Structure 1
Amino acid sequence: MYLKSLNLQAFRNYTAQTVHLTAPKTILVGNNAQGKSNLLESVALLSTLKSQRASSDRELVQNEAAMGQIRGDLERITGEIELEIRLRRSGRRTVLVDRQACRRQVDFLGLLNVVEFSSLDLDLVRGSPDDRRRWLDGLVIQLEPLYAHLLKDYSQILRHRNALLKQYRGRSQASDEAMRSVLDIQLATAGARVMRRRWRAIQRIAPLAQRWHQEISGQTEYLSVDYAPQVRDIPDFNDAEAVRQAVLHQLRDRHPAERHQGTTLTGPHRDEVMLSINQTPARRYGSQGQQRTLVLALKLSELQLIEAVVGEPPVLLLDDVLAELDLQRQNQLLETIEDRFQTLISTTHLGAFDAQWLKSSQVLRVCSGKIETPETVHPTLGAS
């Protein structure tokens, strides 16, 4: 797949900007806080409808505008597709495919596949379990867009159940128990669907990550990527009913503690992804170099897995990440990309790229929400 052009209207610091992507690799160069990350964020939104840096659409739309817009022209094996998101400061966003509004947002997902790699991802290892769950859920959505709908269903049931537990915290009524019994079954059913897809994704990506990690580390370390569900005693993840029953049993077993604490203590919202190097938890004992090698191996594995499942290479977004990697890891990443994946890279200088890379790349300067075309870029661009 290839993203041919991008049009931004009242998005972040872009008032009105059109970018034509004319090479397999596009390098966005400029000082910090000029809009490089904003442009990559817009591409990620066209893929996942989520931003790593914003919690609401209000943050994405310029202050003086009521609505912002992101539009992209995508070329796939099956033909060309126009994707559009209309963001409103107040009210619900609209997503369109070929200028037709989608009834459900899930119908928009899966049309553009991306792998994001930014300095924020380097916290994947040392961050919280929520960071790793978010990474895993994002991967599953790329592989199976319907998962976004399943995840939303689970979250809605969980909120309803937590509200009930909070309302009746510390006491029990017959009506409360009857309602909770219904919610137990609903949560177990929805939770089992989420857990089985998470488990399946880990089974697919773990061996790929192990191979990449050994190659990058020079065969000196062994990486383990394991799904660690909070629900115990699951005999077989391939058996949907067995998973559902395991969740339901543990939910019922935790009723007394939940009644006391006023919150749901069982389910995939408490899952963990265990990352270990030589059987040692990377989060606690891995050096900074080891942690960066691990994250790089995961990102390269995402590229490989999505391409295998989708049948087309995804678009790779690298947001100022080269500065965070040493020379060996930079070279490993750049050699893997070559011209196989369309890549958009943000950087403050061009020193990390050799002459051959620059020759085969489109270089754009970003300055205060405006993008200069390749023809207007000064030859001394790398000096900034």
Structure 2
Amino acid sequence: MFLKTLHLKQFRNYQEQRVDFVAPKTILVGNNAQGKSNLLEAVELLATLRSHRLARDRDLVRDGEAFGQIHAKLERQAGIIDLSVTLRRQGRRTVALNSEQLRRQLDFLGVLNAVEFSSLDLELVRGAPEQRRHWVDTLLIQLEPVYAHILQQYNQILRQRNAFLKSKGGFPMPVQEKEELAAWDAQLVTIGSRVVRRRARAIERLAPLAAEWHASISDRAEVLQIRYAPNVPFTATDPEGVQQAFLEKIEQRAIAEQHQNTTLVGPHRDEIELTINQTPARQYGSQGQQRTLVLALKLAELKLIEAVVGEPPLLLLDDVLAELDLNRQNQLLEAIQDRFQTLIATTHLAAFDSQWLQASQILSVNAGQIFSDQ
């Protein structure tokens, strides 16, 4: 797939800007806070309807405006597709494909696929488990768009169950309230098991790809292992087996939940463990080694999405390429070649390999305006 045009209106710091992409690689160069990351964020929103910055829609709309819009023209094997997202300061966002507004946002997902690599991704290694859950969930949304709906359902049930525990707090719980809680348990288990099983499958497919990339980048000196550590341990892979394990753990933690007035069991407490040479990655080595790990994860994402959707996704590099040493730059260059359209944000060009510059469209970004340097 190839992103041909991107048109931003009242989005972040852009008043109105159109960009035509004419090369496999596009380098966006400019000082900080000029709009480079905002442009990559717009592409990320088209791919996942999420932002790695976790911003609210009203924060994405330009100051003083009621709404903002992202419009793109994408070339895929099946033909040209128009995509648009309209974000509102007040009210719900809307999405459209080929100028037709979609009733379900789920139907918008999976049209454009992209992998983002930013400096924030170092938090995958050293941050809280929530960071790693968000990462695998964002990947899953692209591999299996229905997962967005499943995750939304789970989070809604979780909020409602927590609200019930808080409002009915205390111990012991009367019989009528126990029955009501059991109904919430059944919903949490049904939907939560779907989340767990999909996360397990995704990590199972991603882990060997990432391990191979990591071994290659580290010249076989380091061994990366990725292990899914669900809050609900399960051995069976069938839905009934997972649900049974889920119910048993809820029963085990029932008293603690009633005392703490919150849900202690479920995929919202999962962990994805990253180890290098059998040592937790957050305790391992330098920032350069942690970048190697994240780079391996991102290359694995590219390969996995390409294998599942049948076309290479876009790669978005947000101010990270110049921070990689020459060996890691060359590994990345060799991996993506011209097969993956790549958009790169940077503050300067000096650290780039000459091969990158020669093969790239170079655009300057200044105060929400973009100019061609060629």
One fold, TM greater than 0.5? yes
Q: Which residue does 1:248 correspond to in 2?
A: 247
Q: Which residue does 1:336 correspond to in 2?
A: 335
Q: Which residue does 2:278 correspond to in 1?
A: 279
CA separation of 1:262/1:290 partners in 2, compared to 1, >3 Å: closer, same or farther? Answer: same
SS class of match (1:4) = strand
Name the CA distance, whole Å, in 2 between partners of 1:356 and 1:263.
54
Name the CA distance, whole Å, in 2 between partners of 1:37 and 1:99.
26
Name the CA distance, whole Å, in 2 between partners of 1:254 and 1:357.
55
1:2-151 maps to which residues of 2 (within 5 A)?
2-151=2-151
1:352 is displaced (CA, Å) by 2.7
2:322–2:352: 8 Å Cα contact kept in structure 1? no
Q: Which residue does 2:318 correspond to in 1?
A: 319
1:333 is displaced (CA, Å) by 1.4
SS class of match (1:82) = strand
What CA deviation, in whole Å up to 9, does each residue of 1:44-78 have, x standing for no partner? 01111111224211111112211110000001011
- Establish whether residue 197 from structure 1 lines up as the match of residue 198 from structure 2: yes
1:119–1:324: 8 Å Cα contact kept in structure 2? no
- Establish whether residue 152 from structure 1 lines up as the match of residue 148 from structure 2: no
SS class of match (1:192) = helix
SS class of match (1:3) = strand
1:150 is displaced (CA, Å) by 0.5
SS class of match (1:117) = strand
1:72–1:83: 8 Å Cα contact kept in structure 2? yes
Counterpart amino acid of 1:244?
A: Q
What CA deviation, in whole Å up to 9, does each residue of 1:66-107 have, x standing for no partner? 111000000101111110001111111111111111111111
1:54–1:60: 8 Å Cα contact kept in structure 2? no
Q: Which residue does 1:269 correspond to in 2?
A: 268
Counterpart amino acid of 1:115?
A: V
Is 284-293 or 263-272 further displaced after alignment?
284-293
What is the total number of aligned residue pairs between the two structures? 373
1:236 is displaced (CA, Å) by 1.8
SS class of match (2:328) = helix
SS class of match (1:196) = helix
Is 5-14 or 165-174 further displaced after alignment?
165-174
Name the CA distance, whole Å, in 2 between partners of 1:270 and 1:325.
33
Counterpart amino acid of 2:268?
A: H
Name the CA distance, whole Å, in 2 between partners of 1:50 and 1:185.
29
SS class of match (2:92) = coil
1:84–1:97: 8 Å Cα contact kept in structure 2? yes
1:374 is displaced (CA, Å) by 4.0
> Sequence identity, in percent?
62
Q: Which residue does 2:259 correspond to in 1?
A: 260
Name the CA distance, whole Å, in 2 between partners of 1:32 and 1:290.
25
2:119–2:320: 8 Å Cα contact kept in structure 1? yes
Q: CA RMSD in A?
A: 1.1
Q: Which residue does 2:357 correspond to in 1?
A: 358
Name the CA distance, whole Å, in 2 between partners of 1:356 and 1:279.
36
SS class of match (1:84) = strand
Is 356-365 or 15-24 further displaced after alignment?
356-365
Q: Which residue does 1:223 correspond to in 2?
A: 224
1:284 is displaced (CA, Å) by 2.3
Counterpart amino acid of 1:190?
A: I
Is 274-283 or 54-63 further displaced after alignment?
54-63
What CA deviation, in whole Å up to 9, does each residue of 1:229-264 have, x standing for no partner? 0112x1222x11100111011112211110000001
1:170-189 maps to which residues of 2 (within 5 A)?
170-171=170-171, 172-189=173-190
1:354 is displaced (CA, Å) by 3.2
1:154–1:187: 8 Å Cα contact kept in structure 2? yes
SS class of match (1:339) = coil
Name the CA distance, whole Å, in 1 between partners of 2:345 and 2:88.
27
Q: Which residue does 1:210 correspond to in 2?
A: 211
What CA deviation, in whole Å up to 9, does each residue of 1:291-336 have, x standing for no partner? 1111111001001111011100000000001233222212211222
SS class of match (1:153) = helix
TM-score of the superposed pair, with normalisation by structure 1 = 0.95
SS class of match (2:19) = strand
Name the CA distance, whole Å, in 1 between partners of 2:213 and 2:120.
21
Counterpart amino acid of 1:4?
A: K
Moved >3 Å (runs of 4+): none
1:216–1:329: 8 Å Cα contact kept in structure 2? yes
SS class of match (1:292) = helix
1:288 is displaced (CA, Å) by 2.0
1:225 is displaced (CA, Å) by 0.4
Name the CA distance, whole Å, in 2 between partners of 1:326 and 1:260.
51
Counterpart amino acid of 2:200?
A: W
SS class of match (1:110) = coil
What CA deviation, in whole Å up to 9, does each residue of 1:260-305 have, x standing for no partner? 0000110000000000011111112343222111111100100111
SS class of match (1:52) = coil
